[in-house]
Chain A
């Protein structure tokens, strides 16, 4: 990480961040969006907002969701996270990072025949709880794990 990046991290905090978010929201409608992209869910500012926009409401905690994530991530720009659901009838898996500016990072639709497991890499602004939200048979389940970040990866 170079020095510029650190300046950016500092400058990006507080009021500047809010202004940026507002600007992004204002500009967004002009951009060609993917048709099925759930804008409300991705722009939700809290985990609860995102749950609501995904239609999850208050999901039940479940021990049948296995999350593979590091306890400590040295570089917040690249945090490998794998989610595996052992709940039969799983239709979709969403990944949320509580302290990111917009918690919802990714949502995967799992058709029949595909194993109930995905792995990807995400950015994390700071140490945060990571949530795995699973939709199975119309019901929502959630599991969480805290990942400590030593160097943030969201430039904000």
Chain B
């Protein structure tokens, strides 16, 4: 299982600024290891952020997204103390969900 995501959600003037740092190798499938063998592709394919059961952002990613991906976006309506969940699914079918409290 992958390491937890770091999620920061800060509410200001009715808008929540969300910053997510995920921990993932994001292998492109193009790199070779020291023995010259291709390192198989392994990357996050989809990311979904939900707040109060409502999707506030969904994304599809390819292997071009950097290792340990970073994502920032803003949405309206979140209040301090409410929860925000972020889920990713990678190309091997692994999943991870983490939750953060809006500050």
Contact = CB atoms under 8 A, between A and B. Distances in A.
A78 B29 contact: no
Given A20-B38, A24-B29, A120 B60 contact: no
A114 B50 CA distance: 11
Interface string B68-79: 011111111100
B20 to A, nearest CB: 10
Contacts of B77: 113
Given A101-B30, A156-B30, A156-B31, A117 B41 contact: no
Contact of B76 (A108, A114, A123): A114
Contacts of B67: 77-78, 123
Interface string B58-98: 11111111110111111111000000000001011100000
Interface residues of B, number: 41
Interface residues of A, number: 50
Nearest to B58: A109
Nearest to B60: A107
Contacts of A122: 64-66
A121 B70 contact: yes
B70 A154 contact: no
A11 B30 CA distance: 10
14 contacts: A11-B36, A24-B41, A33-B91, A34-B89, A80-B70, A101-B28, A104-B64, A105-B62, A106-B64, A113-B54, A114-B73, A119-B72, A123-B66, A156-B28
Interface of A: 4, 8, 11-12, 17, 20-21, 23-24, 27, 31-34, 36-38, 42, 77-80, 82, 97, 100-102, 104-111, 113-115, 117-124, 153-156
Interface of B: 15, 26, 28-32, 34, 36, 38, 40-41, 45-46, 54-67, 69-77, 89, 91-93
